[in-house]
Each structure stands twice: as structure tokens, then as C-alpha cells.
Amino acid sequence: MRLFPRLAGDPAFRKTSDETWDYNCIAFAAGDSGRWWWPPQPSGVTSSASYWPPWAPSEESVAAFVAVFQGLGYVTCPDESFRRGFEKIAIYASPTGAPTHAALQLEDGTWKSKLGPFIDVGHSDPNGVAGHRYGSPVVVMERRITAPRLSERLQMFALRSLPTLRSIRRKVIQVLRRA
């Protein structure tokens, strides 16, 4: 963990997923494991592989990233301390103020980060991945965990999975027809 030396002695450090380009840290913190979330480039062009919510300013700024999470029901809060019944996210920025990363606090109070196109990792607190690569947590936000939120996440997962399931179903039918 040369890029994240603070993780070396973290008792909560663990690999929690394989490497994937399917999503990044912003998408992960937003609950979306099917898309890469990042604002459009200054030219206004968004890669076909990336997504940016329409309610957020199309710019690489901490304010735009805060707007993303506000649109998902989060509000700023004073710190990263664990509060039962709430989920928290931390937004990171470089020393120049450019947004770099987001981490999600889990229901047990530990944190989880998606490291770019690499693995997801668990860590004790937001500072576990702070440093040269991601800078520091500059904003912490929270929202109450409610049954409808879980339902929305399950619906979002189901909607993303539906095209894949339909495609698999079509292929199975094609194979069975040939047999």
C-alpha cells in the first residue's frame, strides 16, 4: 500500500472487492456500482463511460461534488463521527482544492473507499486514504438511513441489472432453439 501508507497499520483495512473500471469512488459513495461518476471535461464533453447527475454543476469543484450528494439527500455535518441511523460520506480534495475522492461510512462505523479503477477497501476512518494521492477530507455529509432509501437502492440495482438479465435470457432462448 505504497500509495496509502496509513492503511498499513489500520486494523479495519481489508480488500472488499476485485479491481473494476465499472465504477469509481464517487459512484460507490452514491450507491451506484454500474457507472463511473465524474463531471464533464471543460469542453463540456462527457465520456460515454462516465455519468454526472443533471442537478449538479458540471465542473470539477468541491461545491459541485457537495451538490451531487445534496441531490441524494445528504446534508453537511460537523465531523465523521459515527451516528447510528445515519450514513456519512467524506469528500476529499487536493491541496489546490480540486476534488479527488469520496468515501462512505458503513453501518458499523468503519469506512469504505473505491480506489479509482482498483479495489474497494475498508478502513477505520476517512484519514486512512488521505495523503499524497487523495489529499484530505474537506467535507463530511450525512443522511438518515430509512427503509425507502434502501428500497431506492434496490430498485436502482434491479433497473441496472434488468438489461443484463434480459440479454442472458435471450441468449439462453437462442441456444435452446438451436438444440
Query: Is residue 153 within a helix (H) or strand (E), and if so which, with residue range?
Result: helix 147-178
Q: Shortest CA distance to 127 belongs to which of 79, 65, 73, 69?
A: 79
**Mean of the pLDDT values across residues 47-75?**
92
d(CA 84, CA 88): 10
pLDDT (tens digit, 9 = 90+) per residue, 15-54? Answer: 888 888 899 999 999 999 899 999 987 655 555 568 999 9
pLDDT (tens digit, 9 = 90+) per residue, 73-110? Answer: 999 999 999 999 999 999 999 999 999 999 999 888 99
The CA distances from residue 54 to 19, 33, 40, 68, in Å, are 28, 18, 11, 9
